[in-house]
């Protein structure tokens, strides 16, 4: 009761991003998120992207390989 169960390697969601850190926290500058006039910023929620915290489409392979259904968070900006 009240004790946290330690994550085993097989139960970890994050298998490759900044594993040396105790906790992965990213800060995004809102100007950078929409640079170049882009009205959309796509953020990874599958922990597989090579451009983390941004989505690179790696979730598609993950979903195909595992039967999972994860996808990105899309932040849109109105003109």
Q: Indicate which residues carry an active-site annotation.
A: 23
Long-range contact pairs involving 32-36 (C-beta distance under 8 Å, separation at least 24): 33/75, 34/77
Which one, 34 or 56, has the nearer CB to ligand FES? 56
In the list 46, 53, 64, 74, the residue contacting ligand FES (rule: CB under 6 A) is: 46
Closest by CA position to 71, among listed 53, 59, 56, 62: 59
Residue whose pair of structure tokens reads 């969601």 in the numeric block: 13
Which one, 39 or 73, has the nearer CB to ligand FES? 73
**Residue 53 touches ligand FES, criterion: CB under 6 A:** no
DSSP state of 2: -
| Chain positions contacting ligand FES, by CB under 6 A | 44-46, 48-49, 55-59, 71-72
């Amino acid at each position: 009761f009240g004790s946290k169960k330690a994550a085993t390697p097989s139960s970890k969601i994050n298998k490759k991003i900044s594993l040396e850190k105790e906790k992965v926290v990213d800060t995004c500058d809102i100007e950078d998120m929409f640079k170049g006039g882009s009205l959309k910023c796509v953020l990874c929620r599958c922990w597989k992207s090579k451009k983390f915290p941004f989505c690179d489409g790696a979730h598609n392979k993950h979903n195909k390989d595992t039967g999972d259904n994860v996808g990105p968070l899309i932040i849109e900006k109105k003109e």
